[in-house]
Amino acid sequence: MEKMSKNEVQEKLKSLNNWKLHDDVIKKEFTFDDFKSAFAFMTRVAFEAEALTHHPNWENVYNTVKISLNTHDADGITEKDFDLAEKIDAIYK
Ligand SMILES: C[C@H](O)[C@H](O)[C@H]1CNC2=NC(N)=NC(=O)C2=N1
C-alpha cells in the first residue's frame, strides 16, 4: 500500500477524533477508569488488529493506553492506519 504524503495525512486526520501526526506515525492517548478497563479495550483492539492484519504500536501504564500507528511495509502512514484508527475509536466509544 502507498505511503500518504504529509498533506494527505493532515487532511484525512480531520475525519478522525483527536489523532495527531507525530513524525511518521499518527498517535492518540486513551484513558480509562482503571487497569481492567484499559486492558479490556486492548484485548478488543488486538482482535480487530488480527482481523485487519494491521497492528498497533502501544504502551499501557495503569489506566492509560498510548497508541501510535504506521505501516512498516510503506515506511510511513497509509489508509490501513486510518482504517485501524477508526475501528479503535469505535471500540473506545
Ligand atoms: C505479513 C503481515 O501482513 C505484515 O507484516 C503486517 C503485519 N502488521 C502490520 N502492522 C503494521 N502496523 N504495519 C505493518 O506494516 C504490518 N505488516
Question: What are the pocket residues of ligand 1 if the criterion is a CB atom closer than 6 Å to any ligand atom?
Answer: 53-55, 71-73
What domains appear along the chain, each with residue ranges and CATH number?
Answer: 6-92 (3.30.1360.20)
- Going from the Cα of 92 to the center of ligand 1, the distance in angstroms, rounded, reads 22
- Of all residues in the chain, what percent are helix, strand and coil, respectively (each to 5)? 45, 25, 30
pLDDT at position 1 over 90:
no
Q: What is the pLDDT of residue 15?
A: 96
Q: Using one digit for the tens of pLDDT, what is the confidence trace for 40-72?
A: 999 999 999 999 999 999 999 999 999 999 999
> How many percent of the chain have pLDDT more than 90?
99
User: Dihedral of CA 62/63/68/73: which sign?
Assistant: positive
**ipTM of the predicted assembly exceeds 0.90:** no
